[in-house]
Structure 1
Amino acid sequence: MGIVYAQISKIIAHYAHIYEGEIILKIMIRVYMDGINKVWQPQSEEESLIILYTIIDAYYGWCEPKTDTDTEPITAKVIRHSNRSYPTHITALKQSRTELKPFIVADMETIIINQVHFPYAVGLMMVRPGEQINEIMIDTYFSEDYKIILNQFEDRSTKVLNDFVLRILTIVRQEQSPLTIYFHNLSRFDGIIFLKHLVCHHKNYELKTLLRNNRVYEIAVYSGKKMLFRVRDSLNLLPASLDALSKNLCPELGVKGNIDHNNLSMTNIESQKKILLDYMKQDILLLGGVMLKAQEIYWKLFQVDIESKITLASLALSIFRLKYYDASNWPIHIPNKNEDSFIRLAYYGGHTDAYKPYGENLYYYDVNSLYPFVMKEFPMPGGVPVWHRNLDGMDLDSMFGFIEAYVECPKTINKPFLPYRNKENTLIFPTGVFVGVYFSEELKYARDIGYTVIPISGYLFERKESPFKDFVSSLFESRLEAKKSKNDAMAYVYKILMNSLYGRFGINPKSTITEICDENQRKNLLRHSDLIFSELLYENKYIISFHSNTDKGPDYWKPPENSAVQLAAAITAYARIYMYPYISREDCYYTDTDSVVLGQKIPVEEVSPSVLGKFKLVDLILKGYFLAPKAYYYETKEKGVLKFKGPLKDHVSKEIFEILLMDPDTKIPVKNLHKFKVNLKKLTVGEEERIETLGIKLGNKRKPVFCSGDWVDSEPIDIEDLSSLNHIGKTVFKSLKKRLNEIHNEKFSQIDERCKEMKSQFDAKKTDKKGHRRREE
């Protein structure tokens, strides 16, 4: 043990030299039993002290410590983790399905009882590829049809869902194959209610739920190990309202109906049976038409069945991997834990800011497919990244990758370029001094517009031509052709595909997972997970929520399938670079990712409604209020446009914007009814009325500027934050800062010498002129 202590002493002395002036807070020693098959029993504090004093005494022996040459390095055995291996790069796909699968579409209608939604009707329709659909094919179940046998409405509501499940099981037996059932907006409504019913009333079946970040993506129902059916959200594949989708994809089936849900009650529900069921059946018919048309389009274009995918992003990735991805020449690297954690710090997303609160005669532009344009035109980080802990001595222009850097933004820049995430997790664009992780190309751009940039450390990649060129070009050209031929359905499909791919690469490995489980699984999750909550639902059925990628300790890593955050971070950084010349204009009032509101026109050569990456004029604004990100109102000759992020949008009007412009600190209490409030612990959806405060957060992204009491402009927040620098970073920074100062001093000396030289020349000429005058006199 004396040898071990000597080794510790030697290591401490070594690191004391590296981290001079720092404090050692803790020393941790890994102990393993070599060749002894028994469980390690930890010592008591008293026993530990006795052993420690024995070691110290044995080592020092009341004499001078041993020198470095007396100890040999001790090499510990490598601890092998049993983590499941994962691919190092994204693979290409091969065609698997040879024919399309049938599916079911369904809808549920509810009524409020004691502030909770209960189903009073549910319906479904079988949809087969290539076959016509019509209203006759729809099966419906209505609560009041069971009045003769069930007195309580809650019992009749349960009976409706029970018969619905039995009908699904009958169809599954007839098909002799598991089926997918689609609801539109399953994630935050139908899925919560249906999951609660399955848990409480179908105990013979096992449920496997895909519930992430409080959204239901899939409910799979099993009998033993055999899957019977799964329920999914069509909104995740076709992200638009059913009304908008049906107008694009199946206008021949008619329009979405409309009923006054607010006037529905237990006293009139039975008398309105026909109206209510006709409304629900039209929704089911439209959903069937939308999904059938979408399935047909995707199969015809890409030989991909949408029934095999849960989200649009995963569908877009599958199409890319199947049709456009060259895995042999451009393998997309899947980052490990260290790489992902570091690079994700540079994944900031889009830039949204409000600069001037009010303006008249303005121009609202947005870019034609900004992210697809960037994906096509700009080089991407390829190959396997190489970590550089010290970038001292490397030229920024030679770097390509993701870099932690010291940054200084001058106060003279009114609309700063580089993002910074503050302690409140708000993304701001400040002036001042700070440290952050950025894509190399935005650091170069920042330097060129006046920032001081000192690279510290980072992951460097190969600069490679974009692997998305063919993907974007093909889809954009096909979309233009579809628009020319007035094929709105095809144009819509091409558009959503183009814009959905990049985000899939940036999928976050850390998410909130919610599971339905029994007591044994619950105990296991409680022991090994970062628990959020656990609640008993029904007779040994629990709902438990926890954070992913933390359940097996800090070294555990299970990346999302086919993630590549380096691509998502690079794409969004390039987009911010592309937009900055327009954002930085003095006449920019507002920006949101791919759009700007300007006081003057953009040059005509930069505007085209049909060219990828060029701007199109969205609106000519007569007057507009731009009070905060995602909070604006403007008027054109034809309409008023209002945007207000949050649950209080229905309470906002032009008059509210006028009040807030006059006094931005105004807070207005409003009574707000949340009609679809999800209680995940109880698996219910209900109504909740609350008094909430309507207003804007002033000064959290930029500081307001007042003139004679009027809010007229804004200015950036100035910060100073070097807290994220580690020991190595501080050392590198000091070295680079010293070198930078030396360069500046050298330049200043050269300028000073030049000034002295020019002054002496000027003085000499001045003396010559005086002598000339004297001679003339």
Structure 2
Amino acid sequence: MNTTKIKINSWENYDYPINNQLIVATHIETALKSFWIDTFDQLDSADNYHIRIQFKFLTTESEYRSLSYIQTVNHTDLERLINNFKEYWDLRNDDYHNTSIKSIVFTYKILFGKVGSRLVQHKKVINSLKAPFKFGGFKLPKTMDITKWSGNIKFDEDYSKAIVYINKSLREYHVSLFDNYQEIKIIVNNDVLLEFTDTVNDVYDLSSFTRTIKNQNYIFVNGELIVKQIDRKVNFLNTITKDESLSDNFITMDLETRTIEGKMQQYCVSTYYEDGDGIDRPRSFYLSDYTTPEAMMKDAVDSLLTSKFDGYKVYLHNFSNFDAVFLIRILSELGQKIRPVIRDGRIINIALDYGITKYTKYTIYFRDSYLLLSNSLKDLAKNFNVENKGLFPYSFVNDPNIKLNYLGLIPDIKYFNGITVEQYDEYCKTIHGLWSLEYQTKYYCELDCMVLYKVIKTFSKQIFELFKLDINKYPTLPSLALAIYRSNFLKDNFKISLIDGTMYNDLKKAYSGGMVDVYKPTNEPDTKVFSYDVNSLYPFTMRDCPMPIGTPKYFEGDISKVDPNAFGIFQVEIQAPDNLKYPVLQTKVQTPNGNRTIAPLGNWNGWYFSAEIYNAIKYGYKFNILRGYIFNKGFIFTEYVDFLYKLKANSTKGTPNYLIAKLLLNSLYGKFGMDPENDKHVIINSDKAKEYHNNFVVTNVIDLGNNKELISYYKPVSDKIENNKPSSKNISIPVALAITAYARIHMSVLKRSALSSNLDIFYMDTDSLSLNGELDPKFIGTELGKLKLEHIFNEVIYLAPKVYAGKTDTYEYVKIKGLKNPISFDEMKPLLNKGDSLQINQEKWYKHIDEGLITVKNEIYTLMITDNKRELLFNETGNFINTKPYVLSNGLLLTNKDNEQ
């Protein structure tokens, strides 16, 4: 007996131990009667009270499981409640037949007053989508033929209704009969526990039907449950209004640095803006006027922290990867509150609050203009017809013997990067008298600021004229592209579902980029290699392919048995054909070189877009569908892509509209595939860091060395509401993964055409391929998705993904990811020999946000053959001659020894 004092209007738990036995009906009755005696019956005038109560159990793992919803009953309703809870257990017991149960638990609250008893019907088929659906526990009939249900049947006079009295149970099935469906209520003592609808799928077989319980469907074929399906609650991407006006509230800033003894040091800062009257307002700060670079930087930033610049955006080109390293510590000392936005290691935006009093608060924002316009400032000046960047001897100031007040001869041409003698001579003609380092630095730095300001202003005006949006509201090009889409092209019927939580975690496993593989490393002397690029591959798939939209429906089972053309994203078991030269499906596996995305043979389990599955079937792949999500289809990007492609086609290359169209065409899709659970970031005083460590999962801390810390954190999973509240973040990974999957399908069609023409493929990248012959002319053209012949090589070398070179009669083309200094084709050629490598000395930057500096070191870059995507094949003399796919067995990589066996 529980001896706890009876509390009124307070939620309590009552435990009835059953010592790891299986729950049976007598346990429920005994436990509830015991509870009634220990609690309700202890009250004076118990009939003047009512109770809210829920039936649960406690596992031996100390986990609570709910079996009923909260019921509201009076003291006199004990027998009704016993019957109600027995039926709940009868419906659910198969779900927990393997669960070790410590005790029956009643969660309850006793309240004063008598009420009308309310026994709530059973609303859920499952507790959570985190666990598989289990239908057997409901003990519902697997046919629509009520004459085969285990009970006595009573029809009404016109046979439109019937009651089935279940044998040895208080349950009654009340059935309303219609032409092709029937509605059923399960009733116990006049209380409705469950309602569902059965719909005929085969008029000749009542055991082939669909059972609908709330938002869940159970599809039966010949009395066997084939697919379990449930609608998932989601929000949809909504439209936004266009802007009525355009703001010019922005400033540009630039830093100049020099490298002394391996450390970069700021020695000049400039800012630039235009007053409302159009007057230029440049200003520079030079290190010779200060004791330290930090003092100079503080003065420069502090000059902007006035009420005049409240709400202004400060743009620095390449801020996230360069200037921010020097500025974060400075901003943390000057701002009263700092709110950085950091994604994938890049600083997107820093909001700095200042001038906070009882009556005022000002904010200024520091942003990276490169994230809006991802070209060099020199190229942007040409594209936007702005006065070009000047020339400056960058490396001249790296000489520690050169003083910042240097006044003398013009520095030698060797100090200028990548200019011709003619350009140097023209530059010298502009200098009259002695060359001043301070004057030239300030002039050059202010010129950069002015060029960037005019580029952004022109870009802003063009975007506003085209789309009526203010770019200063959007820190990155993808965010601007999404805003353009939502304000100009999104229709109400597109229904783009916003995804996060468990569903995102499932679907992201199907999100993969382009296929990048070396198939054959080099060509024979008399063989030409034709290198093709696809014209706007992702915009092509966005325009021409249907996207997953609408309310997602989660299912378990082989959906193809009830819908051979099901459209969605599925988890499948895969068996690849044994003899496929160029596999078309890729997966992530552990290789000798770490986790890699490869296109293997063999068998494995993974998540894939349905269109990619159906395409792979054409190549001989076999699939067993396990579960997934089905969607509706919609062509949602046609107008967006057509508008921008037409704008690009009608604009001269190198003009603002041409660049705008090109950038926006390729910037939208990735926004849909972003991770909704990015870390948050804050800069706070060190003595307040404990609050974040106590309340959040802290993933990183950077001590800024000034009693400030940059903390990265996220909320623990247990604090998140999973699967209940639809996402409000503008992320739709089904759309993103469909776009990349369609792109791989398109490339697989090109590979198949090459095979049918007996052509060998040497190399393939996301949107390009190289082979020993010309492709069918039907694939060539200037339209979206068509190919352009970029090179005809006499000789090629493909060492690894993103590492290759080609040679024609007139030029060499060398591409090596991660290598700053170019090398020649002939330097790469010996690397086709097994074990040979090329060591290249190159400069590498190391960023130290905690110290506010960048160090520069010379390091060795080793270039050699790598086998991280396919197995390499060598001839008897050790020459790299071919590759073949890796083979998986149940998802694990087979070694050479395994293959030999």
Query: TM-score, normalising length from structure 1?
Result: 0.77
Task: Report the CA distance shift for 1:309/1:29 in structure 2 as closer, same or farther (over 3 A).
Answer: farther
Match in the other structure for 1:354: 518
Q: Could you tell me how far 1:680 is from its partner in structure 2?
A: 3.9
Q: Could you tell me how far 1:212 is from its partner in structure 2?
A: 2.4
**What does 1:549-564 align with in structure 2 at a 5 Å threshold?**
550=717, 552=719, 555=722, 561-564=729-732
Match in the other structure for 2:217: none
Task: Report the CA distance shift for 1:693/1:119 in structure 2 as closer, same or farther (over 3 A).
Answer: closer
Match in the other structure for 2:296: 160
Q: Which amino acid aligns with 1:626?
A: Y
Q: Which amino acid aligns with 1:451?
A: Y
Q: Could you tell me how far 1:551 is from its partner in structure 2?
A: 8.1
Task: Report the CA distance shift for 1:472/1:518 in structure 2 as closer, same or farther (over 3 A).
Answer: same
Q: Matches of 2:104 and 2:639 in 1, distance apart?
A: 52
Instruction: Give secondary structure in 1 for the equivalent of 2:328.
Output: helix
Which of 97, 117, 126 matches 2:264?
117
**What does 1:386-425 align with in structure 2 at a 5 Å threshold?**
386-391=553-558, 394=561, 397-423=564-590, 424-425=594-595
Q: Matches of 2:770 and 2:611 in 1, distance apart?
A: 26
Match in the other structure for 1:699: 867
Q: Matches of 1:651 and 1:487 in 2, distance apart?
A: 26
1:581 aligns with 2:749: yes
Say whether the 8 Å CA contact 1:528–1:551 is kept in structure 2: no
Say whether the 8 Å CA contact 2:697–2:716 is kept in structure 1: no
Q: Which amino acid aligns with 1:89?
A: F
Say whether the 8 Å CA contact 1:513–1:548 is kept in structure 2: no
Instruction: Give secondary structure in 2 for the equivalent of 1:124.
Output: strand
Instruction: Give secondary structure in 2 for the equivalent of 1:422.
Output: strand
Q: Could you tell me how far 1:357 is from its partner in structure 2?
A: 0.7
Q: Deviations over 1:445-497 (max 9, x none)?
A: 11111111111111011123x111111111101110113xx562211101110
Q: Matches of 1:345 and 1:442 in 2, distance apart?
A: 14
Q: Which amino acid aligns with 2:283?
A: D
Q: Could you tell me how far 1:143 is from its partner in structure 2?
A: 0.8
**Which stretch shows the higher mean deviation, 651-660 or 329-338?**
651-660
Instruction: Give secondary structure in 1 for the equivalent of 2:764.
Output: strand
Q: Matches of 2:110 and 2:870 in 1, distance apart?
A: 63
Instruction: Give secondary structure in 2 for the equivalent of 1:525.
Output: helix
**Which stretch shows the higher mean deviation, 108-117 or 432-441?**
108-117
Match in the other structure for 2:64: none
**What does 1:269-668 align with in structure 2 at a 5 Å threshold?**
269-271=404-406, 272-327=437-492, 329-359=493-523, 360-391=527-558, 394=561, 397-423=564-590, 424-464=594-634, 466-483=635-652, 488-519=655-686, 521-546=688-713, 550=717, 552=719, 555=722, 561-584=729-752, 585=754, 586-609=759-782, 611-646=783-818, 648-650=819-821, 652-663=823-834, 665-668=835-838
Q: Deviations over 1:224-248 (max 9, x none)?
A: 3723311100000001111111111
Q: Percent identity?
A: 25
1:254 aligns with 2:422: no
Task: Report the CA distance shift for 1:660/1:553 in structure 2 as closer, same or farther (over 3 A).
Answer: farther
Q: Deviations over 1:607-651 (max 9, x none)?
A: 123x111111222222221111111111234432222222x4427
Q: Could you tell me how far 1:520 is from its partner in structure 2?
A: 5.7
Task: Report the CA distance shift for 1:392/1:566 in structure 2 as closer, same or farther (over 3 A).
Answer: closer
Q: Which amino acid aligns with 2:793?
A: I
Q: Matches of 2:543 and 2:473 in 1, distance apart?
A: 28
Q: Could you tell me how far 1:683 is from its partner in structure 2?
A: 4.4
Q: Matches of 2:889 and 2:376 in 1, distance apart?
A: 45
**Which stretch shows the higher mean deviation, 180-189 or 94-103?**
94-103
Q: Matches of 1:621 and 1:5 in 2, distance apart?
A: 78
Match in the other structure for 2:245: 98
Q: Matches of 2:701 and 2:273 in 1, distance apart?
A: 37
Q: Which amino acid aligns with 1:579?
A: M
Q: Matches of 2:352 and 2:318 in 1, distance apart?
A: 19
Instruction: Give secondary structure in 2 for the equivalent of 1:138.
Output: strand
Q: Matches of 1:697 and 1:528 in 2, distance apart?
A: 48
Match in the other structure for 2:890: 721
Q: Deviations over 1:334-374 (max 9, x none)?
A: 12412211111111111111111113521121111111111
Q: Could you tell me how far 1:126 is from its partner in structure 2?
A: 0.4
Q: Matches of 1:233 and 1:222 in 2, distance apart?
A: 18
Larger radius of gyration between Structure 1 and Structure 2? 2
**What does 1:107-146 align with in structure 2 at a 5 Å threshold?**
107-113=254-260, 115-127=262-274, 137-146=281-290
**The structure with more helix, counted as a fraction of residues:** 1
Q: Could you tell me how far 1:289 is from its partner in structure 2?
A: 2.0
**Which stretch shows the higher mean deviation, 573-582 or 696-705?**
696-705
Any unmatched runs of 5+ in structure 2? Answer: 1-14, 25-56, 60-88, 112-167, 171-187, 194-232, 407-436, 894-901
Say whether the 8 Å CA contact 1:628–1:697 is kept in structure 2: yes
Q: Deviations over 1:716-741 (max 9, x none)?
A: 000012589xxxxxxxxxxxxxxxxx
Q: Matches of 1:270 and 1:287 in 2, distance apart?
A: 27
Q: Matches of 1:645 and 1:298 in 2, distance apart?
A: 33
Query: Aligned-residue CA RMSD in angstroms?
Result: 3.3
Q: Which amino acid aligns with 2:773?
A: Q
Q: Matches of 2:20 and 2:104 in 1, distance apart?
A: 16
Q: Could you tell me how far 1:283 is from its partner in structure 2?
A: 1.6
Q: Deviations over 1:551-602 (max 9, x none)?
A: 8369499968210000000111001001112234342111111111121112
Q: Matches of 2:259 and 2:537 in 1, distance apart?
A: 43
Q: Deviations over 1:148-171 (max 9, x none)?
A: xx4xxxx2x12321221232134x
**The structure with more strand, counted as a fraction of residues:** 2
Q: Which amino acid aligns with 1:234?
A: S
Say whether the 8 Å CA contact 2:689–2:709 is kept in structure 1: yes
Instruction: Give secondary structure in 1 for the equivalent of 2:301.
Output: helix
Q: Could you tell me how far 1:182 is from its partner in structure 2?
A: 0.3
Q: Could you tell me how far 1:302 is from its partner in structure 2?
A: 0.6
Q: Matches of 1:631 and 1:32 in 2, distance apart?
A: 66
Q: Matches of 1:404 and 1:686 in 2, distance apart?
A: 47
Q: Which amino acid aligns with 1:294?
A: F
Q: Matches of 1:31 and 1:227 in 2, distance apart?
A: 55
Task: Report the CA distance shift for 1:626/1:132 in structure 2 as closer, same or farther (over 3 A).
Answer: farther
Q: Matches of 2:717 and 2:362 in 1, distance apart?
A: 29
Q: Which amino acid aligns with 2:383?
A: N
Q: Which amino acid aligns with 2:339?
A: K
Say whether the 8 Å CA contact 2:589–2:892 is kept in structure 1: no
Name which structure has the greater RCO, CA cutoff 8 Å, separation 6+: 1
Instruction: Give secondary structure in 1 for the equivalent of 2:712.
Output: strand
- How many pairs align? 652
Any unmatched runs of 5+ in structure 1? Answer: 38-67, 76-85, 725-777
Q: Could you tell me how far 1:538 is from its partner in structure 2?
A: 4.0
Say whether the 8 Å CA contact 2:804–2:814 is kept in structure 1: yes
Instruction: Give secondary structure in 2 for the equivalent of 1:601.
Output: coil
Match in the other structure for 1:760: none
Task: Report the CA distance shift for 1:606/1:683 in structure 2 as closer, same or farther (over 3 A).
Answer: same
Say whether the 8 Å CA contact 1:406–1:454 is kept in structure 2: yes
Q: Could you tell me how far 1:331 is from its partner in structure 2?
A: 1.6
Q: Matches of 1:144 and 1:32 in 2, distance apart?
A: 77
Match in the other structure for 2:401: 267
Task: Report the CA distance shift for 1:487/1:28 in structure 2 as closer, same or farther (over 3 A).
Answer: farther
Q: Matches of 2:468 and 2:245 in 1, distance apart?
A: 8
Task: Report the CA distance shift for 1:211/1:343 in structure 2 as closer, same or farther (over 3 A).
Answer: same
Q: Could you tell me how far 1:33 is from its partner in structure 2?
A: 6.0
Q: Matches of 1:168 and 1:30 in 2, distance apart?
A: 66
Q: Matches of 1:197 and 1:28 in 2, distance apart?
A: 59
